Amino acid sequence: MYYFCKKLNDCSLGIILIIFSCASCTFATEHRISAMVIFEKESKLTQEFLDNPNYSFVETYVYFKDTLSESTIFGIDQEFFEGLDNPIHFKGADWMGLVGLQRSGRIWIAAGHPAGFDGTPSKERNWKFAQLPQALKPNTWYRLHSVVDYNNRKFVNFTIEGPGIHETLDLSAYILDYPNYLPFDKRALTYLTWTMDGRSIGGQPKKDSAVYFDDLRYGFCKEISSDAPEPHYPEITLYKDDFENISKEFAKQPIEMSDWVNGRLSLAKYQRRKWYLERDVARVRIIQADFARSGIHVVESDATLKNWNYKKWLNHVTR
């Protein structure tokens, strides 16, 4: 994920399961990701994992209304920061396991480049695609679940479950992307939910671009059960959030320009398990909703960032 207001660069579209093709395209403002991010660090269990990274998972439930634009992409992400002090592979490396989808059932996987394994951050997104057997239904909660392997720096699988659908995609053929050099001083894990307005790929941009998340959890997976008929990943949940007891406004990230100039970002400035905006222009907030999966609150993530039509959005949500 691109932190601190960095732009997504050119992307080249790829192939997975079924064939898609597209010329290289430039991601303009409307393609930038609107997301919230939480940092996992410091606990004994987390530190043991950071010392010997292995399988990690993130899970949330997602919901959209019947007015959602076909071009809106939404999903989950989890990342491992190597830090500057005692990195495993490269100082400042960021290993990203981002997966998303559209209401049409098209799956987006941000696969890595071979150059990333040599320590070169990617300049383009290496998108791979899959197609679910059916489109997703509006006004319905779907469970999204993703597993990555930080030891081998690969995706493992992605699961979507809801009324009439329970699909698990094997993503083990794809390596994790190294999208950013992020000079945090220590190792850390981050987990995110995100939306992106991919209007240039089609759809109706004048429609709604808001997606809703609820009941998020993340953690680690134990070793694979080798005697099981199918791969199995027993889970240890580190944290779960139903968004009932947090501020309705997300904090901006506590990084100043001077930190970048100094070339060292202090992880101590971040509170453990506190939600931040992934970038200042992200449109993410807690709202009360009668369709909440649990409790009465959900996260609203709007794919159109605070750009030329920010005032219009602000007027809409405050009236």
- In order, the DSSP letters of 140-168 are --EEEEEEEETTTTEEEEEEEEETTEEEE
The pLDDT confidence band at residue 313, using thresholds 50, 70 and 90, is very low
Q: What is the pLDDT of residues 245-287, one digit of tens each?
A: 877 779 999 999 999 999 999 999 999 999 999 998 899 999 9
Does residue 5 lie within any of the structural domains?
A: no
Does residue 11 lie within any of the structural domains?
A: no
Domain count, the chain: 1
Range of the domain at 163: 22-318
pLDDT at 4: 35
Q: What is the pLDDT of residues 12-48, one digit of tens each?
A: 222 223 323 232 233 333 347 899 999 999 889 999 9
The CATH code of the domain that includes 268 is 2.60.120
Does residue 17 lie within any of the structural domains?
A: no
Per-residue burial over 173-182, b = 16 or more CB atoms within 10 Å of its CB, e = otherwise: ebbbbbbbeb
Does residue 10 lie within any of the structural domains?
A: no
Does residue 1 lie within any of the structural domains?
A: no
Does residue 259 lie within any of the structural domains?
A: yes
Summary mean pLDDT of the chain: 84
pLDDT at 29: 38
Does residue 13 lie within any of the structural domains?
A: no
pLDDT at 21: 27
Coil, helix or strand at residue 255: coil
pLDDT at 226: 56
Does residue 15 lie within any of the structural domains?
A: no
- pLDDT of 156 over the 50 cut: yes
Q: What angle do CA 182, 279, 264 make, to 5 degrees?
A: 25
